[in-house]
Structures are given as structure tokens and as C-alpha cells.
Chain A
């Protein structure tokens, strides 16, 4: 049984391999309500694989995954959509769940793409499509958001705005977020817990702790460590002994 009511998903020594090649191995982490957990690591270090393990996309995994919610919003890193499908943005928004029109409008407005509602999905630019993907994931008001490089291809100002939005949504919905990103600057300022991957968990903890870790320094270099440690971890809430979250 789930001893902590706030846990949304829990990985215990989870790993995935294709034949004899391990994509990622021995990952333990948990995501709680209102928490942003960020996965960092070089290319091919198993970030997306870890996300897919947590989501239950990969079936034959090693270790254990316990998922306590089915209300999940997912923004995949790569998405191949058959553009021959007649699919408008509004059809895409209700792909996995029926939504009220006002909820669709709200989500599209939040990510700044409401004007594209009736456009064909195939006619969008990369950045526009990325905003639609984020809108779709948040519109169903999920308990767990899994965002795999959610702002790729989005313009610079949009990137910052979207990260702010993601942070705001976590607080409003009190949902948990599993975030994958390469952008150490923007991400670390809002992250509760960082897991640094390189085929396995090389270190994890608060951004400050990770920044001080020698393995992290070896992986990303001294400079990245300085970026990370500049961000003091600021909570706008406190975790009580019962695991509840209180706003300051």
C-alpha cells in the first residue's frame, strides 16, 4: 500500500534493456504531489527511457514501478504524427480525454496558441506545435505531468514564459512533474529534486547538493556546477511532518 498519500509514481531499482543493451539501469526515484523532479544528463543517458518507464510505456522492465494515478499528461520528446490524418488542433486537444470547450480554450490561451485552435496540426511550426503539446498535457488537469524537453524549438522569451507557466500549474493543480531538460539555468531555479543520469543514477538530491557532487562536476564540467549552485532553493511552501504542503 502507498504509505505516503502524496506519492504519484515510484521507481525502485528500475531499468530497461533491449536484448543485452541497457538503456538505463537501477533508477530509484519518486514524484510527489506539488513536486518538480528534474532529470538531467548527457545525450543517451537514459532520461527519456526513465520517463517512459515511469509512464508505463515500457512493459518488460527490471525493478519495480508503482503508479498511483491514471490522470497523466505527457509531452514526449519526439512525436511522429502521421500528417495525412485530418486533425485540427481542437481535435488533438481531446485526443485522450473529452474536455469542455472552455477548458480547451483556457489551456490554449495559457500557452499562447488559442488562435491556432481550428488550424490543421500539420500546418503548425515546430514551436507552435510544442505549445499545443503542452496545452494538451495541462488541459486535462493531470495529477502527474511528464515533460520531456517541453520547450524545444520554442523562442527564447516563450521558453521562459512556458517554464513559469509550468511552475504555476504545479502550484495550482498541486500536481507532480517529471521534467527532462538540458537547460540548467531555467530549470534549476524551480526544481525540488534533481536526478542526474548517465545510464544509471550518478547523483541526486536538491539542486545545490547535486551541484556540489563530484560525479556531476565530472559529467557536466566545473562551469555547469557554478550555474547550478547560483540558485538557492527557495520554497514558497513548507513540507510538514505529515507530508502535507503548507503555503508560506
Chain B
């Protein structure tokens, strides 16, 4: 069954969606969508590194993304530049350097479109293993840091005062972000990973009244987007990443209609 590339893509996509659901909620709550973008852009460097040193792609993307996150924290401490300028600087320069390095690696044929927008044909059984081992691991760690991370998202000083160690939770969360980018890059492509994180979560926000329900709807929305997107991709021969993201946009629009209806009902 796993010989079928479509089944492989489906299993991979569902595995990714379960993890992007809760992480995406935190990306929205903590206003980290540009941070996610920056990490994702830097993933291209990770891919080139993987090809040149013959490393596992997910592994080297994880290392490079974590490194970029560390550099960002250092830059924030040492310069007076605003956060978004630093994010832009790192995002575009790491993307640019990645593309320049690809130019030098003439002996390897790169599927740039696949890297940027995802390629379901590229999902191997190894990738499935990485997603279904890495994904649950990310979720487990997120579960462990949930309390301090969520409390400090609501209010940092309350969390700190009442002994929850929010700084450690934030650092761990950054690593989890690098982790999800590493395992989902093949599936969604590096330009669209942030979309996979925030669009289902944004959809969930429209129809949720508590943090828990938002996480659940965000996961469900992600799963549905993957299924819809991949079938579209198969049917019309479109790239997998954009198809999944377009499907999630479709769900987001539906959630807006739902709001309008409930407002009508209230009146």
C-alpha cells in the first residue's frame, strides 16, 4: 500500500496536520507568523547543506532553523533594530544564500519548485517515519510545556511570578517550531509552511470560544485541508503545498460565513 505515492503523501500530510494544528494556535496567539516564515526560509540553506554533505534533509533543516533562531535572539540582544526588520533580514538573506549555494552545486539537480511549494512525489517511506516519529514527539513535548507556555502567552509576569518558568518554555517552543518545519518541508514546501501553521488555526479561532476547542478545530481543519488539497493535487496535477493551503483558505472562508450566520441568529 505504501508503494502508492498518493497514499504516502496522504499519510505524511495527515501526520503533519496533527502537529501544525496546536503549534499554529500558538503561532497566532504569540504573533509569531513572521518568525515562522523566517525559520522556513532558512530551511533552504538546510536543504542545500543536506545535499552537499549527504545528510538527512529533515535533520539538517532542523539544525539550520534552530541556528537561525539562536542568531535571531542574539541579534535582538545586540542591536537596536526592531524585531520585524531582523526577521526580514534573516529570512531573505538566508533564502538568498541558500539559492546562491544551489547555484554552486551544479553537480546536483534541484527541483526548486518542489522545495518551495512541496512535492508529493518526493515523499518516501523514510519521510513517513520521520513525520510519524517526530510529529508525536513534538506534540508530547508541547503537552509538557503547555502550562507555562500558555500562561506566559496570556501574561508573562503572572507565569513568572507564580513559578512556571516561561523563558524555558519559550526556548523549547522555538525548537519545536524548527522541528515542525523540518518534518513538513517536503510536503508543503518552505514558502507555504507558515500558511499551514496559521490558516487552519485562524479558521479555528473564528469558531472557538476556548483555547482547547481552538486547538481541536485547528487540527481538524488541517486534516481536512490535507485531504481536500491532496485529492485536488492528484486530480488536477497541481503542486501539493499550494493545493493544501488553498483548501485551508476555503475552510477559513467557510468559518467566516458561520460567524455571520451566528450574528444574524443573535439579532
Within 8 Å by CB of B161, from A72, A87, A91, A97, lies A72
Contact A146 B211 (CB under 8 A): no
Which of B7-15, B130-138, B146-154, B254-262 contacts the other chain?
B146-154
Residues of B within 8 A of A76 (CB): 155, 157-158, 161
How many angstroms from the CA of A76 to the CA of B158 in the assembled complex? 8
**In the docked arrangement, what's the CA distance between A146 and B72, Å?**
35
Q: Which residues of A contact B29 (CB under 8 A)?
A: 82, 84-85
Count of residues in B whose CB is under 8 Å from the partner chain: 24
- The A7-63 residues at the B interface (CB cut-off 8 A) are 52, 55-57
A70 lies within 8 A of B163 (CB): yes
Judge whether B163 and A72 touch: CB under 8 Å. yes
CB distance from A61 to the nearest CB of B (A): 14
Q: Mark B153-193, 1 if CB is under 8 A from A, else 0.
A: 11101111111100000000000000000000000000000
Task: Check if A73 is an interface residue, CB within 8 A of chain B.
Answer: yes
Q: Does the CB pair B154–A87 fall under 8 Å?
A: yes
Task: Decide: A56 near B160, CB < 8 A? Known: A82-B29, A88-B210, A120-B209.
Answer: yes
Residue numbers in B under 8 Å from A1 (CB-CB): none
B93 CB-CB contact with A under 8 Å: no
A-B contact pairs, 13 of them (CB 8 A): A52-B157, A57-B157, A57-B161, A70-B163, A76-B157, A79-B155, A79-B157, A81-B155, A82-B154, A85-B29, A86-B208, A91-B210, A96-B158
Q: With A and B bound together, what is the CA distance between A86 and B161 in angstroms?
A: 23
Contact B162 A85 (CB under 8 A): no
Contacts of A81 in B (CB 8 A): 154-155
B41 at the interface (CB under 8 A from A): no
Q: Indicate if A216 sits at the interface (CB-CB under 8 A).
A: no
Interface positions of A (Cβ within 8 A of B):
52, 55-57, 70, 72-74, 76, 79-82, 84-88, 91-92, 95-97, 120, 140, 146
- Asked whether, in the complex, the Cβ of B209 is within 8 Å of the Cβ of A96, the reply is no
Q: Which residue of A lies closest to B207 (CB)?
A: A86
Contact A86:B160 (CB < 8 A) given known A79-B155, A80-B155, A81-B154: no
Question: Which secondary structure characterizes the binding site on chain B?
Answer: helix
B121 to chain A, nearest CB (A): 39
**B223 interface residue, CB < 8 Å from A?**
no
Instruction: Tell whether, in the assembled complex, residue B205 and residue A86 are in contact, meaning their CB atoms are under 8 Å apart.
Output: yes
Inter-chain contacts of A52 with B (CB < 8 A): 157, 161
Query: Do the beta carbons of B158 and A74 come within 8 Å of each other?
Result: yes
With beta carbons under 8 angstroms apart, the residue of A70, A95, A140, A146 that contacts B154 is A95
- Whether B151 and A56, one on each chain, are in contact in the complex, defined by CB atoms closer than 8 angstroms, is no
Measured between beta carbons, the chain B residues less than 8 angstroms from A70 are: 163
Minimum Cβ distance to chain A for residue B75 (Å): 20
Q: Pick from B150, B155, B209: contact of A88, CB below 8 A.
A: B209
Chain A neighbourhood of B150, CB < 8 A: 95
B52 within 8 A of A: no
Known: A72-B163, A95-B150, A96-B151. A86 touches B158 (CB 8 A): no
In the complex, chain A residues whose CB is within 8 Å of the CB of B147? 96
A140→B158 CA distance, assembly (Å): 13
CB-CB under 8 A from A96, the residues of chain B are: 147, 151, 158-159, 162-164
Answer yes or no: B238 CB below 8 A from chain A CBs.
no
Residues of A with C-beta under 8 A to B154: 81-82, 85, 87, 92, 95
